[in-house]
């Protein structure tokens, strides 16, 4: 009997090829396209052709792939689930002075839950997506690891998936590189889809203007947050800003202040509506604390250990020492200070190619405790002490939506 798998299909090349690959491998495929938002609500003042996912064209593309290759396809409406969690939290995070990551929020709290719920309704044993990542079973755990194509690796966005979800997840593209996927799309007769561009914008902000989006969603936002002080670290006021939610850590442009040298946003205080700026040196910190963690490879991190950590999507990663300081807290100390560690973003910890753990960055620590077990050379050696093929090289990684 064929194993039944529910495949999330956005109408893009990655998810389309993932579905057809599984179909050709003998799975009983059911395709599903999830409508997460309304274009008219997200871009109320824009006219012309809809762009991004969740458009009528994208849903029709996904449906046509299923019809062409002879498997079932459904469209489901999860706008309320998505809006209640992802969009509301996205807005709340900016209002709290943090810079959110909606893709991780969606994967962790909405997409996989929605997929598994529909999978159970349809008697599907597995779910699949077009993400560039891999998962394997080892020592009773489901281990998430980087995709073969490190330029497209999306494991950073999947760290929050709990074990029961990973155990039922298949990533058909994990062992392929992107050019191979476009070639397979043409082989499968998906000619129009094969050359679709990758999508990098936030799915519910297709014009990529989050400031416009916040203004549309929050009544009188400009009036309530504009004209707050911009200060230096010593408290000296050097300007006024347009509203703290419209800035992020590390931002240089758009500050409209002239001090004779470059300055960057170094901290945001929503309680006082204050932006602090400083030199580039003031952006560097060595230690961060993360909450709402998820331990992936092991059930916990019992001892301080060397690892590799990424602090944003396109971060190449850097050697660090990680320790679990509480049930729901990680402390990550980098061997060299990192630039613009941003509260609201994620830190994802790697052990070789495997995701060790991840969490939401809460704050930086200016005076971290001395790392006792490892110096830089030992930590770097420990990261690569296995076979050379297991080394993590994310020097040119970038992540796009499937």
What band does 207 get if pLDDT is binned at 50, 70 and 90?
Answer: confident
On whether residue 402 sits in a domain, the answer given is no
Residues 31 and 177 in one domain: yes
Residue at a domain's end among 278, 294, 318: 278
On whether residue 401 sits in a domain, the answer given is no
CATH label of the domain that carries residue 243:
2.30.30.280
Residues 26 and 123 in one domain: yes
Domain total in the chain:
3
Residue 193's nearest CA partner among 47, 29, 9 is: 9
CATH label of the domain that carries residue 40:
3.40.50.620
Q: Is the pLDDT of residue 397 over 50?
A: no
Residues 293 and 179 in one domain: no
The reported pTM is 0.87
- List CB contacts of 251: < 8 A, sequence separation 6 or more: 264, 265
CA of residue 226 relative to chain centroid, distance: 29
Q: Are 362 and 354 in contact (CB under 8 A)?
A: no
Choice among 53, 103, 203, 295 that is catalytic:
203
Residues 121 and 234 in one domain: no
Per-residue CA distances from 284 to 219, 274, 287 (Å): 35, 20, 10
Q: What is the pLDDT of residues 117-164, one digit of tens each?
A: 999 999 999 999 999 999 999 999 999 999 999 999 999 999 999 999
Q: Are 241 and 230 in contact (CB under 8 A)?
A: yes
Q: Work out the number of other CB atoms within 10 angstroms of the CB of residue 324.
A: 20
Residues 178 and 107 in one domain: yes
247 vs 313: CA distance, rounded Å: 18
Residue at a domain's end among 245, 262, 278: 278
Sheet holding 229-231, edge to edge: 237-240, 229-231, 274-278, 264-269
Residue 203's nearest CA partner among 402, 56, 344 is: 402
- Domain holding 61, by residue range, is 4-130+172-194
Report pLDDT for 203.
81
CATH label of the domain that carries residue 336:
2.40.30.10
On whether residue 153 sits in a domain, the answer given is no
Report pLDDT for 401.
46
Residues 247 and 350 in one domain: no
Q: Tokens 């179909």, residue?
A: 23
**What's the whole-number mean pLDDT along residues 73-83?**
89
What band does 367 get if pLDDT is binned at 50, 70 and 90?
Answer: low
106 labelled catalytic: yes
Residues 69 and 188 in one domain: yes
Per-residue CA distances from 281 to 22, 250, 251, 265, 365 (Å): 50, 11, 13, 12, 15
124 labelled catalytic: no
Report pLDDT for 3.
94
On whether residue 136 sits in a domain, the answer given is no
239 DSSP β-pair partners: 230
Report pLDDT for 202.
81
On whether residue 145 sits in a domain, the answer given is no
On whether residue 141 sits in a domain, the answer given is no
On whether residue 339 sits in a domain, the answer given is yes
Mean pLDDT computed over every residue of the chain: 88
Residues 233 and 364 in one domain: no
Choice among 106, 124, 295, 320 that is catalytic:
106
Report pLDDT for 156.
96
Residue 61's nearest CA partner among 206, 196, 176 is: 196
Residues 263 and 300 in one domain: no
Residues 107 and 253 in one domain: no
**What's the whole-number mean pLDDT along residues 73-94?**
89
On whether residue 265 sits in a domain, the answer given is yes
Residues 329 and 263 in one domain: no
Residue at a domain's end among 234, 260, 278: 278
Residues 272 and 312 in one domain: no
């Amino acid at each position: 009997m064929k194993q039944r798998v529910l495949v999330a299909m956005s109408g893009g090349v990655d998810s389309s090829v993932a579905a057809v690959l599984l179909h050709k491998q003998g799975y009983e495929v059911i395709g599903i396209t999830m409508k997460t938002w309304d274009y008219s609500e997200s871009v109320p003042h824009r006219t012309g052709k809809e762009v991004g996912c969740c458009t009528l064209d994208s849903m029709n593309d996904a449906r046509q792939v299923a019809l062409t290759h002879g498997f079932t396809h459904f469209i489901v409406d999860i706008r309320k689930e998505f809006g209640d969690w992802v969009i509301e939290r996205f807005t709340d995070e900016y209002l709290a002075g943090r810079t959110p990551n909606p893709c991780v929020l969606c994967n962790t709290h909405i997409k996989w839950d929605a997929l598994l719920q529909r999978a159970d309704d349809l008697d599907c044993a597995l779910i699949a997506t077009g993400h560039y990542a891999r998962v394997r079973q080892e020592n009773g755990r489901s281990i998430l690891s980087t995709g073969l194509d490190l330029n497209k690796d999306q494991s950073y966005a999947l760290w929050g998936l709990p074990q029961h979800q990973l155990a039922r997840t298949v990533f058909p593209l994990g062992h392929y590189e992107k050019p191979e996927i476009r070639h397979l799309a043409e082989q499968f007769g998906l000619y129009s889809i094969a050359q679709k561009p990758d999508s990098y914008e936030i799915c519910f902000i297709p014009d990529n203007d989050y400031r416009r989006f916040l203004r549309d969603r929050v009544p009188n936002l400009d009036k309530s947050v504009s004209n707050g002080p911009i200060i230096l670290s010593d408290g000296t006021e050097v300007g006024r800003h347009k509203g703290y939610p419209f800035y992020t850590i590390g931002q240089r442009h758009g500050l409209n202040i002239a001090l004779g040298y470059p300055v960057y946003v170094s901290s945001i205080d929503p309680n006082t509506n204050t932006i602090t700026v400083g030199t580039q040196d003031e952006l560097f910190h060595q230690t961060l604390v993360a909450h709402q963690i998820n331990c992936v490879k092991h059930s916990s991190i019992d001892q301080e250990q060397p690892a590799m950590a990424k602090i944003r999507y396109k971060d190449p990663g850097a050697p660090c020492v990680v320790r679990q300081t509480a049930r729901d807290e990680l402390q990550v100390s980098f061997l060299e200070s990192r630039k613009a560690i941003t509260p609201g973003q994620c830190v994802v910890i790697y052990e070789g190619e495997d995701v060790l753990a991840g969490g939401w960055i809460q704050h930086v620590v200016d005076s971290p405790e001395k790392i006792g077990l490892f110096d830089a050379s030992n930590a770097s050696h420990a990261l690569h002490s296995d076979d050379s093929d297991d080394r993590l090289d994310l020097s040119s990684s970038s992540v796009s939506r499937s």
